[in-house]
Amino acid sequence: MKIWHVFLAFLSSYFNTIAQVNFTSSTLPIVVIDTDGLAIQDEPKIDALMGIIYNGPGQINHLNDPFNEFDGQIAIEKRGSSSSGFPQASFGFETRGPNLSNYNVSLFNWPLDNDWILYAPYTDKALMRNVLTYKLGAELGRWAPRTQFCEVVLNGNYIGVYVLMERIKTNPGRVDIDQLNYADTLDNHITGGYIVKVDKTTAGGIIAWTSPYTCQAPGTGPIRFQLHDPAIDTIHPLQKAYIQDYITDWEVALKSNDFTNPITGYKPYIDVGSFIDYFLINELSKNIDGYRISTFLHKQRFSEGGKLVAGPLWDFNIAWGNSNYCEGGNTSGWEINFNSICGGGGEWQNPFWWNRMLQDPLFANEVKCRWTNLRQSTLSNAALTTYIDSVAALLSVPAVRHYQKWPILGAYVWPNNFIGQSYQAEVNYLKTWIQNRTAWMDANMFGTCTAAVPTFTKPILEIYPNPTTEAIQITGLQDAGQLLILDLSGKVIQFCNYQSQTTQIDLTQLQNGIYFISEPTKGIYERIIKQ
């Protein structure tokens, strides 16, 4: 490993010495960073000045134009795990105010924030795999980082095409869950929001807890969780215990013999649709890191739905046919079966969750229906090819400069499955690989999509009186079923069966306060007040 890092350092020095590019203008935004000659380290961040030149879509940006998209102070550091040693480095930076504290700004009309990433697509020679993934995630209705291609100049030296993008964090404009403050340790407040992840610790991650279960058989490795937001050094112990218990309870339900039960099984814990979408994008891209690395989950506050949500999508630069190990370049096979291919008995194996959920016929059928629907729209071959071609056209000239700076076309860069002699060859490979992958998934998708698969829409309920002193009457239920009454912490305190569209529930045994009424299989979720 030490020899590898020495070799990467040599490559970085070599490229920076011989590959100077005459750069004066671009159709992409130009990011100019000045560290006053200081080297950017992998922690701590160093102070710098940054300007962004962006004259609008389709306009030429000149290096000597005024900084009109951003002009101010930042604190910047290198970032990444496997990518941290590549000659073209990725950076994380914070926008700072006059007093050097974090300062929220809007870049490219995105929501205000102060945490940003300059991602270097060094090993992805098509330059667009992450951008493609996040675009698809957003079109599926899930939050995904916004992205902007740009060209970067660091201390007077051109350093290539980059992607300026948002960092995953809790924020109304990013992962839209309630901010969890340290004092939020009671009732509804402790139930959200949380962002956790399954990931390597090589970039400084700290294991918060280990699942009581091992990963998907035949693997025997542990499933280890990290706290992303809030971080482990800022979270209250009661909050850590809450999210650990919630996820463990979900895993226990998922492992149980009765795991498909709509009331006592796994489904009441999760946003099922998000897990289906997460599965489909990881499988479509044959993401070699999928499920086991850079895997995020987030949990809403109980009053906002309370479910565990899969995502956001993150780090797909070696997906989409860009991996030459563990069958990552193959267009056949399921990535959920990674442990059977080369998982072994060590760490960083796929959790058991996905294979187990697919043993539920209803979940498998919902996967099939979602895939079938998306193949007619967002994930059609025509839509995917059209988007890739549009990005390739946008990058055609910037890519020439990029590969003058980093002359790696026609050369192997870990873990390339394909080595093209030109930028267009890399783009063509990506398109062909996707067409072969979608064909295989069409022929082998789990489940059966028939009219028997229910597609529920949330009904409009009338609850009267609300607030109430004794009982409530509910109108608008669709059919017979079971309602749950939950307290502010999400604990079920009463079960109520109903047999028609209108039912009455006696609440005289409840103490005064705020409760929630839920029918898990129908998506019903309403607040009631007992006084």
Q: Do 91 and 234 sit in the same domain of this protein?
A: no
The three-class DSSP label of residue 441 is helix
The three-class DSSP label of residue 461 is coil
Question: What is the Cα–Cα distance from 227 to 303, expressed in whole angstroms?
Answer: 22
How many domains is the chain partitioned into structurally? 3
Q: Do 160 and 234 sit in the same domain of this protein?
A: no
Whether residue 110 is contained in a domain is answered as: yes
Q: Do 474 and 354 sit in the same domain of this protein?
A: no
What pLDDT, on a 0 to 100 scale, did the predictor assign at position 18?
43
Q: Do 162 and 191 sit in the same domain of this protein?
A: no
Q: Which residues pair with 198 in a beta bridge?
A: 295
Q: Which of 321, 163, 190 lies closest to 246, judged by CA?
A: 190
Select from 334, 359, 384 the last residue of a domain: 359
Select from 359, 380, 404 the last residue of a domain: 359
CB 354 within 8 A of CB 363: no
Q: Do 342 and 197 sit in the same domain of this protein?
A: yes
Q: Do 280 and 345 sit in the same domain of this protein?
A: yes
Q: Cα dihedral sign for 506, 509, 512, 516? A: negative
Locus of tokens 């039960």: 261
Whether residue 365 is contained in a domain is answered as: no
Which tens digit of pLDDT belongs to each residue from 83-100?
A: 667 999 999 999 998 888
Select from 113, 136, 166 the last residue of a domain: 166
What pLDDT, on a 0 to 100 scale, did the predictor assign at position 211?
98
Whether residue 369 is contained in a domain is answered as: no
Q: Which of 279, 268, 353, 259 lies closest to 307, judged by CA?
A: 268
Q: Do 351 and 204 sit in the same domain of this protein?
A: yes
Q: Do 191 and 161 sit in the same domain of this protein?
A: no
The three-class DSSP label of residue 356 is helix
Q: Do 128 and 202 sit in the same domain of this protein?
A: no
Q: Do 203 and 350 sit in the same domain of this protein?
A: yes
Question: What is the Cα–Cα distance from 189 to 318, expressed in whole angstroms?
Answer: 38
CB 154 within 8 A of CB 50: no
Question: What is the Cα–Cα distance from 393 to 385, expressed in whole angstroms?
Answer: 12
Q: Do 80 and 200 sit in the same domain of this protein?
A: no
Whether residue 305 is contained in a domain is answered as: yes
Dihedral, 162, 164, 166, 168 alpha carbons, nearest 10? 20
The three-class DSSP label of residue 482 is strand
Query: Contacts for 171-176 with beta carbons within 8 Å, 24 or more apart?
Result: 171/111, 171/113, 172/111, 173/110, 173/111, 173/112, 173/113, 174/111, 174/113, 174/143, 174/145, 175/143, 175/229, 175/298, 175/312, 176/143
Whether residue 24 is contained in a domain is answered as: yes
- Domain of residue 498 covers 462-530
Structure tokens at 9: 């350092």
Q: Where are the alpha helices (DSSP H) in 164-271?
A: 237-255
pTM of the predicted model, to two decimals? 0.86
Positions in the chain whose pLDDT score sits under 50: 1-18, 452-458
Whether residue 84 is contained in a domain is answered as: yes
Q: Do 58 and 193 sit in the same domain of this protein?
A: no
Which tens digit of pLDDT belongs to each residue from 271-302?
A: 999 999 999 999 999 999 999 999 999 999 98
Give the CA radius of gyration of the chain: 25
CB 17 within 8 A of CB 33: no
Whether residue 45 is contained in a domain is answered as: yes
- Amino acid identity at 58: G
Whether residue 67 is contained in a domain is answered as: yes
What pLDDT, on a 0 to 100 scale, did the predictor assign at position 522?
61
Question: What is the Cα–Cα distance from 295 to 282, expressed in whole angstroms?
Answer: 10
Distances from the Cα of 203 to the Cαs of 43, 80, 294, in angstroms? 10, 7, 11
DSSP state of 16: H
Q: What CATH number did the domain enclosing 502 receive?
A: 2.60.40
